[in-house]
A = this chain, B = another copy of it.
């Protein structure tokens, strides 16, 4: 069994091997001005195992915009309370299309194909507004508790930047409302959604938080049960099928772990029963996933020889 030091040096070794392949590939997300300002050269990775080993490499303590990674957390909170009734308003099938497409929505009468698409995540926010007085505060509380980092917060300038350019999200909200699948005010839904996407966390924070999925609902960090085992299993299944936009197949094929990416450059992945890992590198491929992040995870599961398959 690898010690924490072994893991850290394995990470360094893998980084040394894959960084040259990623060099010059991908572009930092630029559709939100604030995101375009990040340092494209940063790289961080952090893993947390079920038996409590923790190891990182690079900028693993640097907080970045988690963006779509938050969709897994909002979904988990909504599913915990709504249960199977949630699926009346959003599906669990991979979409075969881009993350902000409206085409599928029109074919399916305003029901998003899955909760990892922007449309689906907006419906989940609408659901959270029925369940909580302050969904944003609830998500932050959840992330602070599970990561053990009480300083987790959203970045006001990123949130403002997203709001100012969020026309497509407003279009999605009003389009779904025309089918009766959004109930709260447009500005409320989009406002909370933009703040949620602007939450900043480090690789270490993310690996700690997502470790409860590896623990099938119980956090190896706190020892506490966070969600039931069936809930953990189901969220993990959804990450596998829908976590990487229209590159989910490629990710399953090459990496073999459930996970979720964000256009901030982060990817978090989970090996149920084993560990959670978060990796960060801002340049994205044209599907919106971190180039170096995916290479790193691919090399890792190849070397370790383990995946969920």
Contact = CB atoms under 8 A, between A and B. Distances in A.
Contact of A92 (B233, B234, B249): B249
Given A92-B250, A168-B174, A171-B171, A258 B309 contact: yes
Interface string A97-111: 100011111100000
A249 B106 contact: no
Count of identical protomers in the assembly: 4
Contacts of A240: 240-241, 252, 309
A232 B308 CA distance: 12
Contacts of A308: 272, 308-309
Contacts of A97: 96
A92 B249 CA distance: 5
Interface in A223-264: 229-230, 232-234, 236-238, 240-242, 246-250, 252-253, 256, 258
A111 to B, nearest CB: 13
Nearest to A102: B102
A93 interface: yes
A305 interface: yes
Contacts of A173: 171
Contacts of A307: 233, 237
A104 B94 contact: no
Contacts of A113: 96
A250 B240 CA distance: 12
A178 interface: yes
A4 interface: no
B309 A249 contact: no
Contact of A248 (B167, B171, B241, B256): B241
A104 B247 CA distance: 16
A233 B252 CA distance: 10
A49 interface: no
A57 to B, nearest CB: 25
A34 interface: no
Contact of A256 (B92, B106, B237): B237
A237 B309 contact: yes
Contact of A171 (B104, B178, B247, B256): B178
Given A167-B174, A236-B309, A241-B252, 15 more contacts: A92-B250, A92-B252, A93-B248, A94-B249, A95-B96, A102-B105, A102-B175, A103-B103, A168-B175, A170-B171, A170-B174, A171-B174, A171-B175, A230-B302, A237-B253
Interface of A: 91-97, 101-106, 113-114, 167-168, 170-175, 177-178, 186, 229-230, 232-234, 236-238, 240-242, 246-250, 252-253, 256, 258, 272, 302, 305, 307-309
21 contacts: A92-B250, A92-B252, A93-B246, A93-B248, A93-B249, A93-B250, A94-B94, A96-B96, A168-B174, A170-B170, A171-B171, A232-B309, A233-B307, A233-B309, A234-B309, A237-B256, A238-B249, A238-B253, A242-B249, A258-B309, A272-B309
